[in-house]
Amino acid sequence: MTKRVLVIMGSVRAGRHCPSIAQWVSEVGREKTALTIEIIDLAEWSLPMDDEPGIPALGLYKHPHSKAWSEKVAQADGIVFVTPQYNWGYPAALKNAIDHCYLEWKGKPLMIVTYGGHGGGKCAAQLHQVAEGLKMRPVSPMPAITLSDAIIRENAPLDDATFAAALSPVQDGWAALAESLSSST
């Protein structure tokens, strides 16, 4: 049976590069593995901040959007977060999406792909810590895609050189995720 992986876009900001980067990361995954890959755009999910009356660890969701998000995450065998590094951390929309669930994340292998002017290592470290707290299984490497100042400040298009520099770590990340999924029960 083919394993299902959700590639979750961590940015909802206007003018974001996340859709292009998530698409590229997913294409690399499709070329490198036999996994079923689905891209999730958090901008398409209505997940209001802290609107559930109970704590997610109990899994007793009241709102339809929380139930739908819970079901989507629960159906995945593995997760890939593709996220920018904002101010040395990760976006609030991603934190909110993570915090809407609890048990649904447990035991899932996770690849963290970050991007930004500095690649995103600090963001990846924070996400790694949160993932461990949720009992996820983060894999290495955690690819970090460095964007040029022109891409960030002048909205220059993403170029082949940017993707080429990140290709090997992203391929290695997919291989590690696939291996972790194959060893999952």
104-152 pLDDT, tens digit each: 999 999 999 999 999 999 999 999 999 999 999 999 999 999 999 999 9
Q: Which strand (E) or helix (H) includes residue 84?
A: strand 78-84
pLDDT of residue 1: 76
Q: How sure is the predictor about 155, in pLDDT bands with cuts at 50, 70 and 90? A: confident
Task: Select from 106, 96, 42 the least CA-distant residue to 74.
Answer: 106
Q: What whole-number distance in Å separates Cα of residue 79 and Cα of residue 111?
A: 6
pLDDT of residue 185: 53
- 21-72: per-residue pLDDT in tens? 999 999 999 999 999 999 999 999 999 998 889 999 998 999 999 999 999 9
Q: What whole-number distance in Å separates Cα of residue 144 and Cα of residue 40?
A: 20
pLDDT of residue 50: 85
Q: Is 78 helix (H, G, I), strand (E, B) or coil?
A: strand
Beta partners for 81? 8, 112
The stretches of the chain forming alpha helices (DSSP H) are 18-32, 64-75, 92-99, 121-133, 149-153, 160-182
- 69-102: per-residue pLDDT in tens? 999 999 999 999 999 999 999 999 999 999 999 9
Q: Residue 141: is the preceding peptide bond cis (ω within 30°)? A: yes
Q: What whole-number distance in Å separates Cα of residue 5 and Cα of residue 11?
A: 18
